[in-house]
Amino acid sequence: MDEFALIKRYFSDIGAIPELPALAQAIQEGIGNDCAILRIPPQFDLCLSIDTLVSGIHFLPDAPADRLAYRALAVNLSDLAAMGAQPLCFTLALTLPESNELWLQAFSRGLDRAARQYAIRLVGGDTTRGPLSITIQVQGVVTAGQGLRRSGAQKGDLICVTGVLGDANAALGILGKGNPAEWESYFLSRYYEPSPRLREGLALSGLATACIDVSDGLLADLAHILESSGCGAVIRDDAIPLSEALRGTAINPLTHALEGGDDYELCFTISESNLALLRDREPTLRFTEIGSIVSTPGLRRLNHRGEIMCINPVGYKHF
């Protein structure tokens, strides 16, 4: 199959669902021209984010292609969520060692599954031959001026996280092993199918003072907020939300939750009064208060024995 037949067969209809949100009317042209064309309504700011997954660095070469595709889109959508943006469309740059139809079928299936779930259409891309790598760029919109940032945290704000932490990191020890036990399947799904917190991000815009998605680990990502905002934080070990599965199986669940990445939950800071407003407006959203912002720089943990520990966050760094 040549390059153009491949694009038509596997990528022309990704996320092209009838029930796309009204926002999708901004897409004037999708795949098939030299560029996609978007007409962004004037009340919006456009948000862009791009992520690359390289075989052997971000995933094992024999990782299941459908789950890999799902994850590749989901982690990009998580960046939109962290800014309070709504998804609009995405592009895909795919480098493949060979035209393997089975792999492409599975990849395209997984990509479409995520695209439909989050109502986002694929509008273009690039297909090249080389070592396997997957790059996705997402485009989303926020109401003009309302995009969440890392820089607005203030002394007295509460620190919250959505969902539970550490599960995706617990999956790393299981990846690539055949026939996972049932409880292992749970961790694998938390790794391969993270839930971008788009609904939460949208609800937070205009209320939260700062927000980030937890991709490198809670401590490392919270440290980014502190650095951008010029303040410090105290978090409580006993408040960190953990799943039953992690509590029941990990030797040190808290280490997975604090230092492990790949959760794609949101960590945000918010004033007490806005937190009350948020709970009022969105009673079904699941998030946990884990600490507060202080003026003294640095990140401190209050441990189970009531001792304060200063910490030096170490997240994953490529360089």
Q: Which is nearer to ligand ADP, 3 or 272 (CB)?
A: 3
Is residue 242 within 8 Å of 257, Cβ to Cβ? yes
Partner whose footprint covers residue 127, from ligand ADP, Mg ion, none (CB < 5 to 8 Å by kind):
ligand ADP
Min separation Cβ 318 and ligand ADP, Å = 24
Decide: helix, strand or coil at residue 34: coil
Partner whose footprint covers residue 198, from Mg ion, ligand ADP, none (CB < 5 to 8 Å by kind):
none
Q: Which of 273, 269, 83 is nearest to 160 (CA)?
A: 269
Min separation Cβ 259 and ligand ADP, Å = 35
Interacting residues with Mg ion (CB under 5 A): 34
Q: Which residue has the tokens 């037949």?
A: 5
Binding to ligand ADP by CB under 6 A, coded x per residue (else -) over 21-60, reads ----------xxxx--------------------------
Give the distance, in angstroms, between the CA of residue 108 and the centroid of all CA atoms in the same chain: 20
Residues, the chain:
319
d(CA 201, CA 147): 10
Give the number of other CB atoms < 10 A from CB of residue 238: 10
110 touches ligand ADP by CB under 6 A? no
Partner whose footprint covers residue 124, from ligand ADP, Mg ion, none (CB < 5 to 8 Å by kind):
ligand ADP
Answer left, alpha or beta for residue 156, where phi above 0 means left and psi between -120 and 50 means alpha: left
Give the number of other CB atoms < 10 A from CB of residue 96: 18
Exactly one of 83, 88, 122, 170 binds ligand ADP (CB under 6 A); that residue is 122
Q: Which is nearer to Mg ion, 19 or 34 (CB)?
A: 34
Which parts of this chain interact with ligand ADP (CB under 6 A)? 7, 11, 31-34, 92, 94, 122, 124-127
